[in-house]
Structure 1
Amino acid sequence: MLADARLGSGEQLGGLLEHYKNYLRLLAMAQMEERLSARLSPSDIVQETFYEAHRDFQQFRGGSSAELLAWLRAVLVNNLHRAVEHHLGTEKRDMRREVSIERIDASVERSAFRLEGVLQDPGSSPSLRAQRQEREVALADELARLPRDYREVIVLRHLSGMPFEQIGERMNRSPGAVRMLWLRGVRQLREQMGDGWNRRFEEPQR
């Protein structure tokens, strides 16, 4: 699909980008604190990212899916930063410094690393790394199938790295209710994908 897209096939490029939609949406969701998520959705950020990817695809010089995904993440970071500047630009200066483009880029990388950490390590060869990346994309697709509350608590816990107490404040629930929501969400994921893929989900401490 990447080779066909390079030859100018808009249909192939569209299908290729669609393949990564849920993955990019998860990364965007993990960066959007309450001030920003109250004003736009992760899907808005991803839609803008895809628009720019279509527009600027001839500038992409990579030759692999890993390089394409890294390029898309960079476009996503720029769009997240512009969204912060646009929607939170009137807030006091020290708040804006907290969300510099470098900070957003580092946060997206941490979220991607955390998503990768959920999966068992298949090894370090190039072919195995490519398989792992596809499993991350598949995991994002399965998370997209979950009810919204299940998906939100898993993203905040595992991609944003929040403790259950902070997630409870974000979701207006008690820490105990959030723990139960998390357990139900993980259980449904295991039913959808099988038990072996996600053994690195840790049970919450009681």
Structure 2
Amino acid sequence: MTWAHHDTARGLDDLRAAVLGVLGLRPQPAGVPAWMLLSEVRPTSTVTGGASSSGGFDDSDRAVSSEDSEVERTRLIALVELARGGDSEAFGQLYDHYQGSVYRFVFYRTRSQTLAEDLTSETFLRALRNMSGFRWQGKDFGAWLMTIARNLCTDHYKAGRTRLEQTTEDMGVHDDATEGPENAVLTGLTNEVLLGGLRRLSEEQRDCLIMRFLQGLSIAETAEVLGRSEGAIKQLQLRGVRNLAKLMPAGWRDE
């Protein structure tokens, strides 16, 4: 996958199709349910050997990246190694690459632009403070950032500093992107309805669907962030789509 450039609009379409498939309103190609259509195979790159720039702790043999391009995978691993050694310019480049993905997750989790901006900034501040302690452990750096962001979201609401905000100004940007009678059912289930339903799922199911559909994370990457096995993530995603379908307006489901 490419953390910086996932097509969120396509992800919403995929999620909508999966829900409609569960509701029996959209046939799936070749008998394959929509929740299985996203590719599960992600290339990884591993760097071995060499001196570590993180204070002598050499775990570079476990450095991985799931970016699609090998050149990009190698570049990002090198940037992380430099940032672990205190290189602020390298960390700045990592920020440029991953900021959009972290922001999207927090925004769809909170549906508040202001809160998403604040928690995204805090995510990178915490990452910067802890770069010297980052260990690869076979973990993609983007997944580590996502874990920090998810924990911040959870802590924010547990602390009860604010109630969950409902901001829809940017939610409908793709609602009218597809036209024609063949897409009437698909577009009728709007992004706002889908995202409203997401908010009512359990935390794990909501986060799983956001990561899988709206961010395009692989099963393995999602499992890493949520601390679950890949098999558990597949089941969590299936349950999440089914429960989301149950939350759709009465006109879209059988009572």
* TM-score interval (norm. to shorter): 0.3 to 0.5
Larger radius of gyration: 2
| Greater helix fraction, Structure 1 or Structure 2 | 1
